Chains A and B, each alone.
Chain A
Amino acid sequence: MEIQRKLKSHGAWVGKWTFILAATGSAVGLGNIWGFPYKAGTNGGGAFVLIYLGCILIIGIPIMISEIILGRRSGNSPINAMRYIAHESNRSSSWQIVGWSGIFAGILILSFYSVIAGICLNYIFISATSSGAISSPEQFSNIISSPVNLILWHTVFMILTALIVSAGIKDGIGRMVKILMPLLGFLMIFMVIYSIINGDFSSAMSFLFAPDFSNVTSETFLQAMGQAFFSLSLGMGSIMAYGAYMPKEQKVVGTSFAVASLDTLIAILAGLAIFPIIFAFNLEPNSGPGLVFVSMLSAFNQMQFGQIIGPLFFILLSVAALSSSISLLEPGVAYMSEENILSRKGSAQIISFFVWILGIGSALSFNIWSDFSLIGDRNFLDSMDFIANQILLPLGGMLIAIFVGWFMKKSFIEDELGPINTYLYVLWRFFVKFIAPACVGYIFYRQFF
């Protein structure tokens, strides 16, 4: 079968910053905002940050470069990208399974991510009107025990995501990331300035950055590797799909470094915005995901101007969630529209509807389906998370590194990378051939054993 580049049917990013903003938006999400600072603080602070940066260099950036190369070379959605390049490299078309796995993972993640993001949207209003009469754990419990409420906000979030993606690359995603990402940056800087002046910033800095090598164990390395891999949206086809719209003259390596640096910077800023407030109000810094909805609301209830700062914080979270959710929907929509199964708008609507249906299961996992187990003793939401995050993403990331490192034609890679420092190229080849697949394989193995 003749497989052709279909870039023109989707459009392309306008300006070199659009891809960087879109890919950073994809990478910066809810898990990144609470996950990185929390893991850094509980795994040796500065020692964890150093190990994490090392992992970004040896796992994150090499796989990100590989995904961009695949996407841009083909100019197609992840499935057709893998099929096209495998065909051109005289390899089996079965490699397209990597694209399928990415799209499937994206759909599963979006189904529960949308429910959590819906809670963020709901919290914008709750934090603006909360008088503190109801305690924050009770408030959270009230929210998640209402299926109607969860489904309503899940619906609102999915409609927003579908509207952006259906408007296309230039007028939808491209335009929105140019609004959403500066807004995210502005809100983040505002929150950090507020925390510097009013929060216990000193304790937060010590918690996040004071290196404590006595806390470093093999588990720390595993956490850092996992964070480096998961925080960059790798293995789910989003970066590959976005790479397909990247202009030919844009430098792949420099762009990947820019995306990874911005992602890390935003994660660090998130820690500097959240933890000073947590420490100022003597709240537990290691309360995991509850940190955002329970601890932060409790702090906003107690602080001066909490009814203004609180909504701004939850707007920030919602913006981060939205910029990620559009990247989760895009690969599937791109595939359906380039195969002419449906128009771009129709594809976005159909996939969003399917995601919305799946999301209802996740919304019900918080309440009436909380005792229902789907895989092992996992409820519906945890099962979706298990399939996507613990199986499909590491598998996808590992296969992408293996394909580019071992099976893709070298001349295609060199063509996409353009003029590059020889040492940097040799180093990248080494990481993508040996280190990245081994590390992601180890993460995959440790999730089960």
Chain B
Amino acid sequence: MNISNFKSTYGYIGFIPFALFCLVPWIAGSELSKIALTFQLGYGAIIITFLGGMSWGWRDNQRKQKFNLSMGILFSLLGCSILSLTYFNYILVALLLSVISFQSFYYFEQSTEDFLLRDDDYKKFRKMLSLLVSISFLISSAYWINPYSNPLT
């Protein structure tokens, strides 16, 4: 198995918790919904922080590496903000911020020199994974907005 296929397989395995946490509230109802959403946000915050940290491992001699490092810190701080917002019960804001963070990180990664050197399969995989994660957060946001399911209404 080449390394790109290996990365995509592991990437999709990493997506499974997002899929589960966004579907459980709709199926199990209000008792588990808050817990599932909190776990999804927590997991998302860890992942986005980890993604931000990845820029520290990128080649130092690439163009805009200083900018890349600053952006990496920004994404780690966004992860921290998502956790804080969840703690203070701003669930919808945290969900929407997660969507913005994951999509922004994809565009940021896409703009780097090394990304351009990657093979097409990896590029497709990254696009698809970011999209799926964002959709999972959008599905959870809809759960929070929906008048029949929001656990606070």
Does A313 touch B at the CB level, under 8 Å? no
Asked if residues B148 and A202 are in contact (CB atoms below 8 Å), the reply is yes
Asked if residues A201 and B145 are in contact (CB atoms below 8 Å), the reply is no
Asked if residues A202 and B29 are in contact (CB atoms below 8 Å), the reply is yes
Asked if residues A196 and B139 are in contact (CB atoms below 8 Å), the reply is yes
B residues within 8 A CB of A279? Answer: 148
Q: Is the interface of A mostly helix, strand, loop or mixed?
A: helix
**A101 → chain B, closest Cβ, in Å?**
42
**A189 → chain B, closest Cβ, in Å?**
11
Does A335 touch B at the CB level, under 8 Å? no
Asked if residues B27 and A197 are in contact (CB atoms below 8 Å), the reply is no
Does A102 touch B at the CB level, under 8 Å? no
Does A209 touch B at the CB level, under 8 Å? yes
A residues within 8 A CB of B27? Answer: 202, 205-206, 209-210
Known: A206-B29, A210-B27. A199 touches B148 (CB 8 A): yes
Known: A201-B26, A202-B26, A209-B27. A196 touches B146 (CB 8 A): yes
What mask results when residues 25 to 60 of chain B are scored 1 for a CB within 8 Å of chain A, else 0? 111010000000000000000000000000000000
B residues within 8 A CB of A203? Answer: 148
Q: What is the number of contacts between chain A and chain B, taking CB atoms within 8 Å?
A: 40
Cα-based distance from A203 to B149 in the complex (angstroms): 9
What mask results when residues 117 to 138 of chain A are scored 1 for a CB within 8 Å of chain B, else 0? 0000000000000000000000
What mask results when residues 188 to 218 of chain A are scored 1 for a CB within 8 Å of chain B, else 0? 0000010011111111011001100000000
B residues within 8 A CB of A197? Answer: 142, 145-146
Cα-based distance from A70 to B149 in the complex (angstroms): 50
What mask results when residues 256 to 294 of chain A are scored 1 for a CB within 8 Å of chain B, else 0? 000000000000000000001001100000000000000
Residue of A nearest to B139 (CB): A196
Cα-based distance from A337 to B27 in the complex (angstroms): 52
Asked if residues B146 and A198 are in contact (CB atoms below 8 Å), the reply is yes
Known: A196-B139, A196-B142. A201 touches B29 (CB 8 A): no
A residues within 8 A CB of B25? Answer: 202
A residues within 8 A CB of B146? Answer: 196-199, 201-202
Cα-based distance from A298 to B149 in the complex (angstroms): 23
What mask results when residues 1 to 36 of chain B are scored 1 for a CB within 8 Å of chain A, else 0? 000000000000000000000010111010000000
What mask results when residues 94 to 120 of chain B are scored 1 for a CB within 8 Å of chain A, else 0? 000000000000000000000000000
Residue of A nearest to B147 (CB): A198
B residues within 8 A CB of A201? Answer: 26, 142-143, 146, 148-149
**B136 → chain A, closest Cβ, in Å?**
13
Residue of B nearest to A196 (CB): B142
**A185 → chain B, closest Cβ, in Å?**
15
A residues within 8 A CB of B142? Answer: 193, 196-197, 201
**B22 → chain A, closest Cβ, in Å?**
11
**A109 → chain B, closest Cβ, in Å?**
36
Residue of B nearest to A280 (CB): B148
B residues within 8 A CB of A199? Answer: 146, 148
What mask results when residues 316 to 352 of chain A are scored 1 for a CB within 8 Å of chain B, else 0? 0000000000000000000000000000000000000
B residues within 8 A CB of A280? Answer: 148
Count chain A CB atoms within 10 A of each CB in B145, B147, B148 and give the residue with the most: B148
**A203 → chain B, closest Cβ, in Å?**
7
Cα-based distance from A197 to B145 in the complex (angstroms): 7
Known: A196-B139, A196-B142. A205 touches B148 (CB 8 A): no
**B109 → chain A, closest Cβ, in Å?**
27
**A18 → chain B, closest Cβ, in Å?**
22
B residues within 8 A CB of A202? Answer: 25-27, 29, 143, 146, 148-149
Asked if residues A205 and B145 are in contact (CB atoms below 8 Å), the reply is no
**A279 → chain B, closest Cβ, in Å?**
8
**B30 → chain A, closest Cβ, in Å?**
8
Count chain B CB atoms within 10 A of each CB in A196, A197, A206 and give the residue with the most: A196
**B97 → chain A, closest Cβ, in Å?**
19
Q: Enumerate 12 A-B pairs (CB-CB under 8 Å) in ascending A order.
A: A196-B142, A196-B143, A196-B146, A201-B26, A201-B148, A202-B25, A202-B26, A202-B29, A202-B143, A202-B146, A205-B23, A205-B26
A-B contact sample (10 more), CB < 8 A, given A197-B146, A201-B146, A201-B148: A193-B142, A197-B145, A200-B148, A200-B149, A201-B142, A201-B143, A202-B27, A202-B29, A279-B148, A280-B148
Q: Closest 3 interchain pairs by CB?
A: A205-B26, A200-B148, A196-B142
